[in-house]
A = this chain, B = another copy of it.
Amino acid sequence: MSAIAGPSGPQPTATYDSAFLRACRRESVPHTPVWFMRQAGRSLPEYRKVREGIPMLESCMRPDLVAEITLQPVRRHNVDAAIYFSDIVVPLKAIGIDLDIKPGVGPVVENPIRTRADLARLRDLTPEDIPYVTEAIGLLTAELGETPLIGFAGAPFTLASYLVEGGPSRNHEHTKALMYGDPQLWADLLDRLAEITGAFLKVQIEAGASAVQLFDSWVGALAPADYRRSVLPASAKVFEAVAPYGVPRIHFGVGTGELLGLMGEAGADVVGVDWRVPMNEAARRVGPGKALQGNLDPAVLFAGQEAVEAKACEVLSAAADLEGHIFNLGHGVLPSTDPDALTRLVEYVHTQSAL
């Protein structure tokens, strides 16, 4: 792969010319780039080892650990991008929201946000609130060489769901009660969260992230009309905040088949697709001018190498006519996944797509 001239900015030329960033820009690639959502984390024994005895949020605030955990899957799997190890609630913790990540439960917010008075607790995020992010990314870009680092943030709807419910929720009833019942308070809440999220991503880009992914984990719980009215403006504000940097902006949520077009409209350069919608159908819904990322069912990795290759081949075939394709799972790596199955999958996609 030859290096081409990149824009001025923090990216070294070799990174700018990586298969991952080229695919994000819908340029030709030597092979389909691959990375995995949640590649840094629970499926790796070396991750469990370094996390031993260290609570989740603490691990997100220790630059040495963040760098080590982010690098582990790059070393092991030969993936085409690193994803910054963090948690969706890190920026909320950083501005002083009283929350914790409880093992086996997820983020728990001591005092949920449900009234206009509660909004005052969502103050602006400044770089000084998250020195560990800048430091960790400094460590990472030095180590990663030409492998791009993807910045990470949760999208306003998903953050709002944690804040309003007070923790993970299957049905999001308090969140939706607020959204449907008090649209102005809801809009103001999401706007606040968009400011915070935009600031969180800016810090990551200024420190050296070459792309960002905005995770809207729970937004698949909404119908398109509600997404357009109640979520899209805030997500668009996040994407606008980082637009001046010119780095690719990826947007993903699970169960978002009905929302793919709108998630692109919100300002994503790359739309992530879960496994429920074939890639060619996803491309039709998203329309031209966007790359797509996805979409092997993470559960396929439990079915043996033959099945994995057959399904990965189906994904590559369905994505063959895309303007830009980044291979990924259709959701995060499941905790009990065999890491070797992931390594073999990277090799398979690289080999198969280079033919």
Contacts and interface: CB of A to CB of B under 8 A. Distances in A.
A180 B277 contact: no
B176 A303 contact: yes
A220 B173 CA distance: 20
Contact of A307 (B173, B180, B277, B307): B180
A131 interface: no
User: In terms of DSSP, what is the predominant structure of the interface of chain A?
Assistant: helix
B258 A255 contact: no
A171 B334 contact: yes
Contacts of A302: 173-174, 176-177, 181
Interface residues of A, number: 36
Given A176-B303, A177-B299, A224 B258 contact: no
A257 interface: yes
A20 to B, nearest CB: 25
A179 B179 CA distance: 39
Interface string A272-313: 000111100000000000000000011110111001000100
Nearest to A254: B255
B176 A297 contact: yes
A336 interface: yes
B223 A171 contact: no
Residue in A173, A255, A257, A314 with the greatest tally of chain B CB atoms within 10 Å: A173
A192 interface: no
Contacts of A297: 176, 223
A115 B285 CA distance: 40
Interface of A: 171-181, 220-225, 255, 257-258, 275-278, 297-300, 302-304, 307, 311, 314, 334, 336
19 contacts: A172-B299, A173-B299, A176-B299, A177-B299, A177-B303, A177-B304, A179-B303, A180-B303, A180-B307, A181-B302, A181-B303, A220-B255, A222-B276, A223-B276, A223-B297, A225-B278, A255-B276, A257-B257, A258-B277
* 3 nearest A-B pairs in the assembled complex, by CB-CB distance: A180-B303, A177-B302, A181-B303
